[in-house]
Amino acid sequence: MKTLKVGIIGFGTVGTGVYKVLQSFPEIKIQKIAVKNINKKRNIENFNYELLTDNPYEIVNNPDIDVVIEVAGGTDPAFDILTTAIKNKKHIVTANKELLAKKGSELFQCAKENNVIILYEAAVAGGIPIIMPIKTILCANKIHKIAAILNGTTNYILTKMAEKELSYETALKQAQELGYAETDPTGDVEGFDATYKLAVLSTISFGKKIDINKIYREGITKIKANDIKSAKELGYTIKLIALGQVLENGEIDVRVHPMLVAKKHLLAKVKNATNSIMLSGYPVGDLVFTGAGAGSEPTASSVVGDLLVLASDLEVTNNPIPLAICRHDEYAEQINIGDTYNEYYIAITAGNHPGVIGLIGTICGQNNINISTIMQKGINEDNTAEIVVITEKSKESDVQNALKDMLKSESIKNIDNLLRVMN
In this prediction, residues 82-105 reach a mean pLDDT of 97
Q: Which residue among the candidates 197, 208, 209, 239 is catalytic per the annotation?
A: 197
Name the strand (E) or helix (H) holding 98: helix 97-113
Alpha-carbon distance of 419 to 344, in angstroms, equals 6
Domains of the chain: 4-126+296-324 (3.40.50.720), 131-292 (3.30.360.10), 341-422 (3.30.70.260)
Could you tell me what percentage of the chain is helix, strand and coil, using 3-state DSSP and rounding each to the nearest 5?
35, 30, 35
Is 149 within 8 Å of 243 (Cβ atoms)? Answer: no
Alpha-carbon distance of 271 to 159, in angstroms, equals 6
pLDDT for 360-387, tens place per residue? 999 999 999 999 999 998 899 999 999 9
Label residue 314 by pLDDT band (50, 70, 90): confident
pLDDT for 160-176, tens place per residue? 999 999 999 999 999 99
pLDDT of residue 1: 66
Is 68 within 8 Å of 57 (Cβ atoms)? Answer: no
pLDDT of residue 126: 92
Name the strand (E) or helix (H) holding 360: helix 356-366
Is 127 within 8 Å of 298 (Cβ atoms)? Answer: yes
Give the mean pLDDT of the chain.
95
Alpha-carbon distance of 336 to 259, in angstroms, equals 18
Alpha helices per DSSP H over 137-295: 152-163, 168-177, 186-189, 192-206, 225-233
Query: Is the per-residue pLDDT at 328 higher than 80?
Result: no
pLDDT of residue 285: 97
Query: Is the per-residue pLDDT at 306 higher than 90?
Result: yes
Q: Omega into 77 within 30° of 0, i.e. cis?
A: yes
pLDDT of residue 415: 98
Give the range among 13-17, 115-119, 248-252, 311-315 with minimum mean pLDDT.
311-315
pLDDT for 110-156, tens place per residue? 999 999 999 999 999 999 999 999 999 999 999 999 999 999 999 99
197 is catalytic: yes
CA 47 to chain centre: 34
